[in-house]
A = this chain, B = another copy of it.
Amino acid sequence: MHFISERRLDDGVLEREFTLGEVPGILWTPPASAPVPLILMGHPGGLDKMRPRLTARARHSAKDGFAAATIELPGSGERPRSAAAEQARADLQAAVRAGGPVDDEIVDRLVLPLVDKAVPEWQATLDALLALPEIGGPVGFSGGVTAIGVRLAAVEPRVAAAVLFAGSFVPRVLFEEARQVTIPLHVLLQWDDEGNDRQAALELFDAFGSKEKTLHANMGGHTGVPQFAGDAAAAFFIRHLS
């Protein structure tokens, strides 16, 4: 892990850009004298575009005493494109525009290679971050591409709790992996999100093997997660990581 920039925000949070091999990322740490817990922040891909929202989330987490970090997704931002992934994305967008349901085959073709590539990158990032003296644990995962969160929660024992968006475009094979998840989960669902298959989201929630799992469904469309729902997710992490 190489740090390539560093700046101190006005609330005392230290923001550092890094690269880990070919993968760019950002780490935010609160002013603290002892090692702090860490939240890995997912996103849909495209760090530059997502950066204002990610920075706001990280500063909120810092207030609760947590470091936060994120990395670019394979095939997004400045990272090299894959022809197969670009084709699958185009096929999915065409299916959505046509207004019909999206074939499982397209979802699998787009999402499974992404999950296969991204999850080891998040794990390598975790190796590097936990080696820093200022990062202790436990570790939470929050948001982003649901399928990545499901796989990571299933296979990475260092992730102790997760906040997931119950989104569409989760390959069916990941519903099986969801049954292997046992960590506490806080699942957000935008009830009237037209781009989301509500029934599939409820089935995914049902599939998780966790003894403690909570579904918070709210109104407001895809990007309309209300402030109080964000507060509830923060309270979930305080309960499990502090």
A200: interface (CB < 8 Å): no
In the complex, are the beta carbons of A206 and B191 less than 8 A apart?
A: yes
List which A213-242 residues lie within 8 A (CB) of chain B.
Answer: 213-219, 226, 228-229, 231-232, 235-236, 239
Please tell me if A202 contacts chain B, counting CB pairs below 8 Å: yes
Within 8 A of B (CB), among A127-169: none
A212 within 8 A of B: yes
Q: Is the CB of B213 within 8 A of A219?
A: yes
Could you tell me if B217 and A205 are in contact, using CB atoms closer than 8 angstroms?
yes
Asked if A97 CB lies within 8 Å of chain B CBs, one says no
Choice from B213, B219, B231, B239 contacting A228 with Cβ under 8 Å: B239
Known contacts A202-B202, A228-B235, A239-B228; is-contact A216 B216 (Cβ 8 Å): yes
* Interface residue ranges of A30-88 to B (CB < 8 Å): none
Measured between C-beta atoms, what is the minimum distance from A169 to chain B in Å? 21
B206 pairs with A212, CB closer than 8 A: no
Instruction: Determine which of B191, B215, B219, B235 lies in contact with A191 in the assembled complex, contact meaning CB atoms within 8 Å.
Output: B215
Report yes or no: A214 in contact with B212, Cβ–Cβ below 8 A: no
Least CB distance, A199 to chain B, in whole angstroms: 10
A216-B214 in contact given A206-B191, A235-B228, A239-B228 (Cβ < 8 Å):
yes
Q: How far is the CA of A215 from the CA of B190 in the complex (A)?
A: 10
A219 and B211 contact, Cβ closer than 8 Å, known pairs A191-B206, A202-B202:
yes
Of the residues B212, B219, B226, contact of A226 by C-beta under 8 Å: B212
A-B contact pairs, 21 of them (CB 8 A): A191-B206, A202-B202, A205-B217, A210-B219, A211-B219, A212-B219, A212-B226, A213-B218, A213-B219, A214-B217, A214-B219, A214-B229, A215-B215, A215-B217, A217-B217, A228-B235, A228-B236, A228-B239, A231-B235, A232-B232, A232-B235
A205-B217, A212-B226, A214-B228 provided; 8 other pairs, C-beta below 8 A? Answer: A191-B215, A213-B218, A214-B218, A214-B219, A215-B215, A215-B218, A216-B216, A217-B217
